[in-house]
Amino acid sequence: MPKAKITAVAGYVPEKILSNSDLEKIMDTNDEWIRTRTGIVERRVMAEDEAVSHMGEKVVAQILEKSGTAPEEIELLICATCTGDYILPDTANNICYKSGLTKAFGFDINAACSGFVFALYTASQFIQTGRYKKIIVIGGEKMTSYMNYEDRTTSILFGDGGGGVLLEPDEEYGVIDAILKGDGYGCQLLKVEAGGSLYPMNQERLDAKKNFVTQDGRQVFRRAVNGMSSTIKEVMERNNLTADEISWVVPHQANERIINAVGDALDFPKERIMLNIAKYGNTSAGTIPLCLWEYEDQLKKGDNVILTAFGGGFTWGSLYLKWAY
């Protein structure tokens, strides 16, 4: 069976910066608290008339240019997002339309912060069948549109942006294994309450600010550390990998303390754990492709790479791949 190898990476963040000191001006917080508790210094904010499809369009354009691929060669585009342009329709097909991917079909995957890992593994199955040769996987969000800037416990964490990869078949390199998990218990601990079919939006719910993300930060923190480190261990064991053989761990960027705790649990050196949360905060499904994009020059052909994520749902998992270039 062919493997799905990554042959190009792209990323996009909007220009507008929302720094910790900007937040100090609008809520009772301070730069020192945010830095020491989360590792975040600033995050990016999309313009009002910009959304996930605009980000996706820019990511696709970069991928096509970098890889010398014609738009009509792309057969499938999967977009991992929980903040798509609309509730209906999906965002993936809109990205295909805007990018001239005339031969592609698309669909979205909503696994919150684990979305990119879930989407990448899903896409890899299409390649493994031998039927599909060129698939784009995008992960990205406009999280700021779901932030209540009166809630200092959550709004300081999130930002906008994302990235994507091109997948093509290969005998040797690419996605080798993944362990994906879920637990609907998390449904009540991290959510946007209103705007879906259970609680459609109305004035009362808007006034009660039910259209924003709320969470139990402490429980999420504990579950995230445990979920990411346990699935990394599992995927390493299943593939007979020692920590020395892993070139890079690419963790979802939720909180630098979560990332450090995962590194400590695995006794894994910090220098081989990708980290850019200081600049972008938590972009949910966008964090892992943004890391790959920023660290692309440091990745080498044959590197053993483990992607790991935890998010709303709860959803979590770890994916093992061999870097192809």
Among 67, 215, 226, 260, binds ligand ACO (CB under 6 A): 215
* Residue 37 found at the interface with ligand ACO (CB under 6 A): yes
Cβ–Cβ < 8 Å for 77, 96: yes
Instruction: Return the bridge partners of 170, or none.
Output: 3
239/263 Cα distance (integer angstroms): 19
* Residue 19 found at the interface with ligand ACO (CB under 6 A): no
Closer Cβ to ligand ACO, 219 or 247, answer by number: 219
288/27 Cα distance (integer angstroms): 29
219/227 Cα distance (integer angstroms): 12
Cβ–Cβ < 8 Å for 313, 182: yes
DSSP string, 231-292: HHHHHHHHTT--GGG--EEEE--S-HHHHHHHHHHHT--GGGB---HHHH-B-GGGHHHHHH
* Residue 190 found at the interface with ligand ACO (CB under 6 A): yes
Q: Any catalytic annotation for residue 252?
A: yes
Among positions 237-296, residues that touch ligand ACO (CB under 6 A) are 252, 254-255, 282
* Residue 35 found at the interface with ligand ACO (CB under 6 A): no
Minimum distance from residue 140 beta carbon to ligand ACO (Å): 14
- Which residue is catalytic, options 113, 255, 291, 304? 113
Residue appearing with tokens 């784009």: 136
* SS3 assignment, position 299: coil
* Residue 157 found at the interface with ligand ACO (CB under 6 A): yes
Minimum distance from residue 85 beta carbon to ligand ACO (Å): 21
Among 106, 159, 311, 317, binds ligand ACO (CB under 6 A): 311
Two structure tokens written together for 104 = 């592609």
- Which residue is catalytic, options 110, 252, 255, 291? 252
Among positions 55-114, residues that touch ligand ACO (CB under 6 A) are 113
Q: What is the chain's Cα-based Rg?
A: 19
User: Residues in the site for ligand ACO, rule: CB under 6 A?
Assistant: 29, 33-34, 37-38, 113, 152-153, 156-157, 190, 215, 217-218, 220-221, 224, 252, 254-255, 282, 310-311
Q: Which residues are catalytic?
A: 113, 252, 282
